[in-house]
Structure 1
Amino acid sequence: MGDANAKEAVLLIHGFGANTSHWRFNQPVLAKQAPTYAINLLGFGHSDQPRARLKDEAITADAVHYGFDLWGHQVADFCDAVVQRPVLLVGNSIGGVVALRAAQLLGEHCRGVVLIDCAQRLMDDKQLVTQPAWMTWIRPLLKTMVRQRWLSTGLFHNAARPGVIRSVLKQAYPSGANINDDLVNLLFQPTQRPGAAEAFRGFINLFDDYLAPQLMEELSIPVDLIWGEQDPWEPIAEAKRWAQTLNCVQSLSVIHNAGHCPHDEAPGEVNPVLQRLINTRLTQQAT
């Protein structure tokens, strides 16, 4: 994890459906430079998996509202209770949005944010005007389907199979690099826990939640982007627009021939970028 006496640290935040092990090729390398933590967001990996409460459902003691406020507060609380020093947040996919929300909560205790193929969340209600008309038509049906717990659970278990996971990975990792049994297993095993389907059901809450540009417009700390050029889900054109239009964005590093998770698909290219950013955002600011 690194020098326990260091003045700053790094915290890695995974994307939807992943967990701390998705940083398998990064955390050991980065830990040589600074204390490096990884966290399981509530509902994923080996974390607790409470029942999901949707926006208009009654508040109960045994259910939580999965979303960026919940996860952002979880990350901020973890930093306060465990990290206990200024931190650089690194997030992949929705983990990037979580990092931005946590950065707001941490204030001066956050040295910066690194977004790796941050979720642009094109399915959000606020983005519908930019999407094809059929998306508007199908949205009510999709929400109604996911709202039915028996149906969302069935859909989840149908998707949570090694063959399906490997198929999705082939889309996410266009080069095919590092798609192996270890990767499939680290994504598959947590889906077999009793409450694993709840975070999947709670995904419907993300249809109306924070957008990354909205959060970045309110940040004064530096934000750096790392992007897989061949990401099939988060277009690099939008990342370039962020780099050009948002004052907090300091750099955009493009990883060629990589997709949605370049930190795992091409760690040999991503780790040096992260090491440089750690040096820039932590070491230099500490002097």
Structure 2
Amino acid sequence: MVPAESIWTWKQADGSTLEVAWQCHSDTGDVRHNSKIPAVVLVHGFGASSNHWRHNLPVLGRQTHTYALDLIGFGDSSQPRALLAGERAAGDRAKSSHALLYSFDLWGQQVADFCNAVVQGPVLLVGNSIGGVVALRAAQLLDDHCKGVVLIDCAQRLMDDKQLATQPAWMAWIRPLLKTLVSQRWLSTALFRNAARPRVIRSVLGQAYPSGKNVDDELVELLYKPTQRPGAAEAFRGFINLFDDHLAPNLLNNLQQPVDLIWGQKDPWEPVTEAQEWAKQFNCIQSLTILTEAGHCPHDENPEEVNKQLENILGKY
């Protein structure tokens, strides 16, 4: 097994660059993929990093080149200042200088460009939580270069404006105030710093991992360490201000590639009933695997079963 870790310099349209941290596991000793089996590209969820695939990378790497990258704003990748949509629309140069609009178009383009520049071959995209939405957007951009998508407890983003009809009536009344509050940098920073503490992280993990399996010091540390970087609060601020962006159902409705779903039945945030509805509704969905004792991150809570499912999917190629 040959692990590789590196930094890819992602050049933007305006000539600026962003640093993307990534890692690869492969039995071949060469990080460039040239197999008929698609390479696996793992996309983490909110607040996580490529290290959240700690139990999957080495196992999948025995079957094919397996990559994981840190989305912009997370892990060891660049963490530029967050630009809000309203600031961009207002053309506020003081606020927009060296700032970035965190969005699924940004992250989807990052993953697509990474696949084209680094992987250089067909890919199977695997995303957890918001990483699932990113993977779907990247699949659209990659077109034929993406052979399939696996969604693991994909985020449904109930705070998006397009979800307002599904929310209680009182939400419409407080929504303007909520948007004003979360746009304040002092508040978003305070909320982030309060959440970015080992004790709080472990408490949240207790909800996300209902079985308690693999909630260890290593996991707490890999989630905590990136929060101590100077720009760590920026992706948080950008994300909680995303009120009008891509939703998974809209992307699934127009996707050409096959999609497989893996879901924790005890996910406290993304109900398995929604995944069951998606499986009935969208023609692109090929299978739904429900893990009875798992929560929001089954790839880390129950990696043996998730790895088995991913290996079975790879076996189709």
TM-score (norm 2): 0.87
1:103 corresponds in structure 2 to 139
**Would you say the 8 A contact 1:54–1:204 is kept in 2?**
no
Give the Å deviation of 1:50: 0.2
- Which has more helix, going by share of residues? 1
**Alpha-carbon distance, 1:64 to partner:** 0.5
Specify the SS of the correspondent of 1:170: helix
Q: Percent identity?
A: 69
Q: Which of 66, 69, 72 in structure 2 is aligned with 1:42?
A: 72
Report the equivalent of 2:310: 274
Aligned residue in 1 for 2:41:
11
Tell me the CA shift for residue 131 of structure 1.
Answer: 1.3
TM-score w.r.t. the length of structure 1 is 0.96
* Range 150-159 or range 133-142, more displaced: 133-142
Q: How does 1:81-92 map to 2 (within 5 A)?
A: 81-92=117-128
Paired position in structure 1 for 2:149:
113
Contact map agreement 1:19 1:40 (CA 8 A) in 2: yes
User: Is the 1:93–1:116 contact (alpha carbons within 8 Å) kept by the matching residues of 2?
Assistant: yes
Instruction: Name the stretch that deviates more: 138-147 or 97-106.
Output: 138-147
Report the alpha carbon displacement of residue 208 of structure 1 after superposing the two structures with TM. 1.1
What do the CA deviations read for 1:172-226 (whole angstroms, capped 9, x no partner)? Answer: 1111111111000000000000000000100134221101010011111100000
Counterpart contact for 1:43–1:199, Cα < 8 Å = yes
What is the CA–CA distance in structure 2 between the aligned matches of 1:80 and 1:205, rounded to whole Å?
30
Please report how far the alpha carbon of residue 56 of structure 1 lies from its aligned counterpart in structure 2 after TM superposition. Answer: 1.1
**Superposed displacement of residue 269, structure 1:** 1.2
Q: In structure 1, what is the equivalent of residue 295 of structure 2?
A: 259
2-side partners of 1:112 and 1:193: how far apart?
Answer: 34
| 2:183–2:241 CA contact under 8 A, matched in 1 | no
Query: In 1, distance between residues paired with 2:198 and 2:243?
Result: 27
Q: How far 1:278 moved relative to its partner?
A: 1.3
User: How far did 1:94 drift?
Assistant: 0.3
Given candidates 166, 181, 196, the residue that maps to 1:145 is 181
Give the stretch that moved more between structures: 121-130 or 134-143: 134-143
Residue in structure 2 matched with residue 25 of structure 1 by the alignment: 55
Rounded to whole Å, the distance in 1 between the matches of 2:213 and 2:265 is 15
Q: Deviations over 1:13-53 (max 9, x none)?
A: 00010000000001100000010000100000000000001
Unmatched runs of 5 consecutive residues or more in structure 1:
none
State the Cα distance separating 1:250 from its structure 2 match.
0.4
Contact 2:179 2:241 (8 Å CA) reproduced: no
SS at match of 1:56: helix
User: Aligned equivalents of 1:195 and 1:137: distance in 2?
Assistant: 33
Greater strand fraction, Structure 1 or Structure 2: 2
1:250 is aligned, of 283, 286, 292, to: 286
Return structure 1 stretches of 4+ with deviation > 3 angstroms. none
Contiguous gaps of at least 5 residues in structure 2: 1-24
Tell me: higher relative CO, structure 1 or 2? Use CA pairs within 8 A at least 6 residues apart. 1
* C-alpha distance in 1 between matches for 2:241 and 2:183: 10
- RMSD, matched Cα: 1.1
Equivalents in 2 of 1:190, 1:142: separation in Å?
Answer: 27
Tell me the number of residue pairs that the alignment of Structure 1 and Structure 2 aligns: 281
